[in-house]
Structure 1
Amino acid sequence: MKLFLIGCVTATFALAAGSPARGQFTVNIDIDQAPFQYTETPGNNRVSRLMHQLENKEVELDYTSQRGYLDSLLEALQIPPSSQTLVFSKTSMQVRYITRRNPRAIYFNDDTYVGWINGSSLVEISTADPKLGAAFYTIDMSPFRPKLKRMNYDCLACHATSLTQGIPGHTVRSVVPSYDGSVNSQTQSFITNDTSPFSQRWGGWYVTGFHGDMKHMGNAYVKGGSLDTSRNANLLNLRDEFDSANYLAPQSDIVALMVLEHQTQMHNSMVRADFFVRQLDHEASELDDDKVDAAESAAQLQLIAGEVVDRLLFKDETKLTDEVRGSVVFAADFQTLGPKDSQGRSLRDFDLKSRMFQYPCSYLIYSDAFKSLQPKLRSEIVRQIHDVLAGTAGGDRYEHLSAADRGSILGILSDTHPDFSISSND
């Protein structure tokens, strides 16, 4: 068995101006120790439930010679084929299969990611879990019976590092690839999200869709010693790059990529905050009551929650300078998931002219990951968001939100989210 040092992270928080506490505090996390015990904790997520159903023969996956169990696996996990994004850099555990002519396909919904490579018998799956953060699985594409099992060390060697904010998580990495997809470890790479400049995004990925004059690193490889981006922009299809007949969609959609970037880091931020609160509570439980400083604990909670609030409200999101247009199929599949308020508005409504969403508050506020946060953490996040939207807190920190934005988001949440229905009536 391979052994790796995993999930050992020390985070230092600098308390913001005006905070009731002074100085800084640190949080030390080892995910294989209490209160986490990652490898010993059973999964309780979308994939573990499917595993149970397969074991009890409550669900069967259909095998095809073209794509193995992929089609029925996505259906069982409720993942739309239109979510397809394609990565040709050799940044997966299955590097020997990945080339520009045979890219790895990523399919996803709000909590689960499936990685499939044409010609490989192994499909990689990861999903959000209320106790584990991200949980990792593989399925062997045997034609006789799908073998779905949980993975730990092999995946956590990359997925519980600084690339994922130090906790079991996900990431969209932008690299400088060679023609064959290989990556020189000495070249600069980026972990991208909605705050990343377009110019740093999607190196090693295929990108289809329109984005005007905004430049990105996708569809390009090193030529003459530098990344050749002379013909990488505004591609409608990928016919000139590889044969897409075996894939579920003919594109690697730019809007799906933008959603994927936001979603992975949003999940990581929630997990990171939840793990920190669990760790601090665990440490406090080992102290005598008279040694626990209630005011300091409240200040720590406020700061930890504030980092999640920043990402939920798209603080520092990169402004779009041209309109983005992607797959209408993906946009329709994504936006129909709702929920909508009494005026028909949804946090899933795209803008794509100056920012990603029309109402800048993450749709993941409805997710099981948000619902499963430590109750006091979730309550503090809700309180802070409500105060920002109501105009009683935040000040210039959220100046990207106009008064109209704040009113619309609060109206949507008050109509559709039970936490905010209560808080808005307080």
Structure 2
Amino acid sequence: MPSGALDSRIILRLFVFVVVASGIGLCSRPLSAQVNLSIDLEEPPFEYTKTEAENPVSRLIEGLEAKTIQLEYSRETGYLRSVLKALGIPESSQVLVFSKTSMQVQAISRRNPRAIYFNDDTYVGWIRGSSLMEISTADPKLGTAFYTVDMMPWRAKIKQAHYDCLGCHATSMTQGVPGHTVRSVHPEVDGSVASQRDSFITDHSSPFSQRWGGWYVTGRHGGMRHMGNTFLRGGQLDLQDNGNRLSLWDEFDTHDYLSPYSDIVALMVLEHQTQMHNAITQADFAVRQMMHERDADEDQNEDPDEWNARLQLIAKPVVDYALFCDETPLTDPVKGSVIFADEFTRRGPVDRRGRSLRDFDLKTRMFKYPCSYLVYSPAFDAMQQPLKREITRQLLAVLTGANQDAAYRHLDAQTRADTLEILRETKSEWFE
């Protein structure tokens, strides 16, 4: 979401790490050399501010302008409910953040947390009492596109934002590309961030003990401890009674929100999803840059072996992340909102036995079949064809058992076989 500012030209540096098979070490870790690609977002092939957006929000804007879509305003939540419905975002996805880590820092507090709602592609940020709503969404050319909604009672003015958002959303926190992140901080009593203390960019590999500082968290998680639901007292987070919350009524008036929860399972999904989108974007941007440089150099004699080697290195972090390498094991069961889990799972697709990559485990790991459901996303499908073929090839090598690297030891033979069967039935055009 929009936050901070950036100069009129953005130069990103993508670091694609080379992982050497060595029998030790974890996947996607920089064990030896690296390829360093410098990318100027305002130069071809990207031209970020000149490229026309093509995503769910741009289509919503087109519908509003053509008057084929109408949004309804309410005094309590503005256009929030109507926008969520138009974008296909479930209200049950609500998670709440009270740290001042947004553009609208003056409106956020522990008594007035910012609500985030999301589906597979799009994220909506809403603050009670604010007339400005923020939206970001995956875009096949832009990586992520950012929008603001000025919620005037007589109309919702949606416009695309650029540099105000990229100041935070095209940094190391988002793998160096226009993207998203879930940040865990040490919040003060007023929600401000203790800048002298550690903060963490979290995903499925993060220890529970580093997650959700500055966020509200509802749901059961046994003896596992996290940083949510509390703030610094005497320089330390009070973790005595911050876990296993079933309600937030003691913190603020939840009746003004679409859900009384900040669901722990939704937070776990959000963490995985944001960095998976970033990994897809980073890889696709790297390949687009390689293809552009190749096409621009008429005298260059391309070495097919070198090209394939680079492609393999760029694809591997996407494969490893999609297969939940380094996922932190759950030592106790996690249980969140039944409504969110049911709505998320029902989005499918499913195979003939009713199995889905969206099926939760939540006992020892997040998903029963650990391959990211974002393989079905428009972002995955929009990747450059050579990259998508290489990612698919590597996924098949792991799931068929041809690749037995130690990095994939968390996938036993039955899990690999089950996951491959699901993919072959639900995405047969790529996983034959």
Q: TM-score, normalised by structure 2?
A: 0.95
- The one-character-per-residue Cα deviations of 1:57-116 (angstroms, maximum 9, x if unpaired) are 111100011111001110000000000000000000000000000000000000000000
SS of the equivalent of 2:106 reads helix
User: Do residues 259 (structure 1) and 269 (structure 2) align?
Assistant: yes
SS of the equivalent of 1:275 reads helix
User: Which of 2, 9, 14 is residue 13 of structure 2 equivalent to?
Assistant: 9
Structure 1 window deviating more from structure 2 (190-199 vs 4-13): it is: 4-13
Q: Which residue of 1 aligns with 2:99?
A: 89
Q: Which residue of 2 aligns with 1:26?
A: 36
User: Which of 133, 140, 143 is residue 130 of structure 1 equivalent to?
Assistant: 140
- 2 CA distance for matches of 1:7 and 1:99? 33
Look up the equivalent residue of 1:44 and give its one-letter code. Answer: E
- The one-character-per-residue Cα deviations of 1:117-170 (angstroms, maximum 9, x if unpaired) are 000000000000000001000111100111000000100000001110000000
- 2 CA distance for matches of 1:364 and 1:88? 28
- Unaligned segments of structure 1, at least 5 residues: none
Q: Where does 1:154-193 land on structure 2 (aligned, <5 Å)?
A: 154-193=164-203
Give 1:231 deviation, angstroms.
1.1
SS of the equivalent of 2:149 reads strand
- 1 CA distance for matches of 2:244 and 2:55? 37
Q: Which residue of 1 aligns with 2:406?
A: 396
User: Which of 371, 374, 381 is residue 364 of structure 1 equivalent to?
Assistant: 374
Q: Which residue of 2 aligns with 1:39?
A: 49
- 2 CA distance for matches of 1:259 and 1:24? 30
Q: Which residue of 1 aligns with 2:326?
A: 316
Look up the equivalent residue of 2:326 and give its one-letter code. Answer: D
User: Which of 103, 121, 129 is residue 111 of structure 1 equivalent to?
Assistant: 121
Q: Which residue of 2 aligns with 1:276?
A: 286
Q: Which residue of 1 aligns with 2:315?
A: 305
SS of the equivalent of 1:29 reads strand
Q: Which residue of 2 aligns with 1:342?
A: 352
User: Do residues 147 (structure 1) and 151 (structure 2) align?
Assistant: no
Q: Where does 1:383-422 land on structure 2 (aligned, <5 Å)?
A: 383-420=393-430
- 1 CA distance for matches of 2:80 and 2:217? 22
Give 1:288 deviation, angstroms.
3.5
Look up the equivalent residue of 2:93 and give its one-letter code. Answer: S
| Contact 1:85–1:206 under 8 Å retained in 2 | yes
| Contact 1:237–1:250 under 8 Å retained in 2 | yes
Give 1:358 deviation, angstroms.
0.4
Look up the equivalent residue of 2:18 and give its one-letter code. Answer: A
- 2 CA distance for matches of 1:323 and 1:12? 35
User: Which of 91, 106, 110 is residue 100 of structure 1 equivalent to?
Assistant: 110
Give 1:4 deviation, angstroms.
4.9
- 1 CA distance for matches of 2:33 and 2:93? 44
Q: Which residue of 2 aligns with 1:292?
A: 302
User: Which of 335, 344, 354 is residue 325 of structure 1 equivalent to?
Assistant: 335
- 1 CA distance for matches of 2:6 and 2:314? 34
- The one-character-per-residue Cα deviations of 1:348-376 (angstroms, maximum 9, x if unpaired) are 00000000000000100000000000011
- Unaligned segments of structure 2, at least 5 residues: 23-31
User: Do residues 239 (structure 1) and 249 (structure 2) align?
Assistant: yes
Q: TM-score, normalised by structure 1?
A: 0.96
| Contact 2:84–2:90 under 8 Å retained in 1 | yes
- 2 CA distance for matches of 1:194 and 1:161? 20
- The one-character-per-residue Cα deviations of 1:311-332 (angstroms, maximum 9, x if unpaired) are 1110110000000000000001
Structure 1 window deviating more from structure 2 (379-388 vs 97-106): it is: 379-388
- 1 CA distance for matches of 2:283 and 2:417? 27
Give 1:11 deviation, angstroms.
1.8
Pairs aligned (count): 419
- 2 CA distance for matches of 1:53 and 1:200? 42
Look up the equivalent residue of 2:142 and give its one-letter code. Answer: L
Look up the equivalent residue of 1:102 and give its one-letter code. Answer: N
| Contact 2:247–2:260 under 8 Å retained in 1 | yes
Structure 1 window deviating more from structure 2 (223-232 vs 406-415): it is: 223-232
Q: Which residue of 2 aligns with 1:376?
A: 386
- Percentage of pairs with the same residue: 59
